[in-house]
Amino acid sequence: MAVIRDPAKLEGRRSTIYPAEFAKGFDGRCKRALGNAGGLTQFGVNLTMLDPGAVSALRHWHAREDEFIYVLDGEVVLVTDEGEETLGPGMAAAFPAGEAIGHMLANRSSAPATYLEVGSRSAEEEIAYPDLDLKLTRRDGKNVFTRKSGEPVE
């Protein structure tokens, strides 16, 4: 068991795993890995903060992993294939594995926004990025980015 008394004091990560040509613009996002700090291995929990103008991720969907977000404070815009919707404190969104609806969050307000991000962890996964010529494949816990044609992305 682990008690995380002050999650905001955990070291935050502003980097991304995206290849260099897709990695710009994520310095306004800060993730604190609560699940890792608590020793969780089956699912991840991040306390994520978006500065004004920041986005959560490239618009994507997961083949094998469920994803869930719960807004704590501020305001984010959920951007999906179905359109856009503003989410505020107490609102949540769920993204079931295999549901091919690309999604991301954007902070278009003038104040920071904070949300919990919860997702399953699978040793094998495929993530599609419908707006880009990009795909992620994970096998045995190793991520490989390719073009949709299968050509590697450096």
- CATH code of 28's domain: 2.60.120.10
The reply to whether 74 falls in a domain is yes
The reply to whether 154 falls in a domain is no
pTM beyond 0.85: the answer is yes
108: three-class secondary structure by DSSP: coil
Tens-binned pLDDT, residue by residue, of the chain (154 aa) = 999 999 999 999 999 999 999 999 899 999 999 999 999 999 999 999 999 999 999 999 999 999 999 999 999 999 999 999 999 999 999 999 999 999 999 999 999 999 999 999 999 999 999 999 999 999 988 999 999 999 999 7
Is the sign of the CA dihedral 8, 56, 18, 127 positive or negative? Answer: positive
In this structure, the strands spanning 125-129 and 134-139 are antiparallel
State how many domains the chain has. Answer: 1
